[in-house]
Amino acid sequence: MDTEILTLDDFDYQGKTVILRLDINSPIDRQTGQLADDNRIRKSLPTIRELAACGGRVVMLAHQGDTEDYHNLIDLSPHAARIAELLGHSVSFVDDIAGPAATGRMSNLRNGELLMLNNVRYLVEEVSTFINYVKLTPEEMAKTRLVRNLAPHADLYVCEAFSAAHRSTPSLVGFAEVLPAAGGRLFVEELSALTQVRERPEHPCVYVLGGARIADAFSMMKSVLGNGSADKVLTSGLTGEVMLLACGQQLGVPSEKLIHDKGLDPYIDKAQDLLNVYADKILYPSDFAIIDEDQRKEIGRDKLPVDTLLVDIGAKTIADYIEVINSARTIFVNGPAGIYEQPMSAEGTRRLWNAIADAPGYSVIGGGDSVAAARRFGVQERMGYVCTSGGGMVRFLSGQKLSVVEALERASVRYRARRTE
């Protein structure tokens, strides 16, 4: 691995109290209030199991939901119960985060015991830094109530939350300032997979970018085309449609209105700028699907504009993209090609995802919708690597430094320096 962070292999856990920061932020069923998906929990299990098996006293911290995602801002007791069920190992839950109930329980843990504290986003210092209302330096994070109260009861900090590694908050960054700190198994795995795509992709390297998160797609395109790591970008979804608008192609009122209503008009100029420089590297759709009288119909670009919403890419675009995918040695995927949740507009995503899963190149897929689509089409297991992260992954591939990776790197430098003293 290129990064200098320490891993689980660098420490001994017998009798040590380990603060383990997970990212088990999960969709919650609005009706039942129960976890609707436990993918992130399952992916975190190897590290939890390993720390407990090595005699660690494990104190788990995590966030769930936020003030904007309010119906998801719930206690972590269902998460603790699910971990216990999946591991076949008891997990205590304390309805406290940084107060005396939490610290009292922490200092009484036995070797191999697992403790889950409550949602760190109930703490104002965690939320104000997460939403960037307050910006704290790492040294200031180390002085927050959470870190001040818990760190004296712990020996080590392990971060398993790669999918939140772009957030600079006390629970993610603060402990690494005052405790020896390592990345967990999943953290290191995701960082390595994405580092390979970003720093050493085997060429040809193809980015398949769709979905509605145009800001993400554009920041990645700019970076990976600029540094030469991408040889081709296959656009679809709203990103593909904006590319066509930048070429002067009218789409029709419903699709143009959707782009306008989402505030995406400024991306038309940005698309033009990219096409001026990388015209041979950016592919955009040559045909689309619409739903007409309850039927899927396909239309070529020459039939645009249409007064119906474009909901998917068409057969010719799918075939052209599959040809590029089959000749790639690295494929990165983020964002579905159409409204994949509905059968009549799922064809583009289903066929591209299957082609990527079967392609000889190494594929990496990430982002909530993309992974959910891979699961829906039964190809998740056949993808090269499936990331749990969305925002963190996009920022990493856009060339940004992630706050938590930087914090773990600093902790590693301090730890190694102390050992050679």
Q: Among residues 164 and 311, whose Cβ is nearest to ligand 3PG?
A: 164
Sheet-wide strand order for 17-21: 91-93, 114-116, 57-61, 17-21, 156-159, 181-183
Q: Which residues touch 136 (CB under 8 Å, ≥6 apart)?
A: 129, 144, 168, 170
User: Among 23, 126, 160, 177, which residue interacts with ligand 3PG (rule: CB under 6 A)?
Assistant: 23
Q: Among residues 163 and 223, whose Cβ is nearest to ligand 3PG?
A: 163
Q: Does 357 bind ligand 3PG (CB under 6 A)?
A: no
Q: Which residues touch 147 (CB under 8 Å, ≥6 apart)?
A: 141, 170, 174, 175, 177, 178
Q: Which residues touch 330 (CB under 8 Å, ≥6 apart)?
A: 197, 201, 202, 203, 204, 205, 206, 361, 362, 363, 364
Q: Among residues 25 and 119, whose Cβ is nearest to ligand 3PG?
A: 25
Q: Minimum distance between the CB of residue 404 and ligand 3PG, rounded to whole angstroms?
A: 11
Return phi, psi of residue 307, to 5°. Answer: -95, 30
CA gap 335, 222 in Å, rounded: 16
User: Among 25, 129, 196, 255, which residue interacts with ligand 3PG (rule: CB under 6 A)?
Assistant: 25
Q: Minimum distance between the CB of residue 364 and ligand 3PG, rounded to whole angstroms?
A: 17
Binding string, 369-398, against ligand 3PG, x = CB under 6 A?
---------------------xx-------
Q: Minimum distance between the CB of residue 93 and ligand 3PG, rounded to whole angstroms?
A: 20
Q: Does 38 bind ligand 3PG (CB under 6 A)?
A: no
Query: To the nearest 5 percent, what fractions of the chain are helix, strand and coil?
Result: 50, 15, 40
Q: Among residues 163 and 330, whose Cβ is nearest to ligand 3PG?
A: 163
CA gap 243, 234 in Å, rounded: 11
Q: Does 117 bind ligand 3PG (CB under 6 A)?
A: no
Return the residues of window 248-307 that contact ligand 3PG according to CB under 6 A. none
25 within 8 A of 162, measured Cβ to Cβ: no
Q: Does 220 bind ligand 3PG (CB under 6 A)?
A: no
Q: Among residues 348 and 366, whose Cβ is nearest to ligand 3PG?
A: 366
Q: Does 22 bind ligand 3PG (CB under 6 A)?
A: no
Q: Residue 13's closest CA among 146, 214, 170, 182?
A: 182
Q: Minimum distance between the CB of residue 334 and ligand 3PG, rounded to whole angstroms?
A: 13
Written as one string, the DSSP assignment of 349-374 is HHHHHHHHHHSSSEEEE-SHHHHHHH
Q: Does 97 bind ligand 3PG (CB under 6 A)?
A: no
291 forms beta bridges with 296
CA gap 18, 168 in Å, rounded: 20
Which pair of tokens denotes residue 124?
Answer: 């104002």
CA gap 353, 27 in Å, rounded: 23
Q: Minimum distance between the CB of residue 368 and ligand 3PG, rounded to whole angstroms?
A: 7
Q: Does 246 bind ligand 3PG (CB under 6 A)?
A: no
Which pair of tokens denotes residue 177?
Answer: 């300032």
Binding string, 149-188, against ligand 3PG, x = CB under 6 A?
--------------xx--x---------------------
Return the residues of window 299-318 that contact ligand 3PG according to CB under 6 A. none
Shortest-Cβ-distance residue relative to ligand 3PG: 25
- By CB under 6 A, name the binding residues for ligand 3PG: 23, 25, 66, 130, 163-164, 167, 390-391
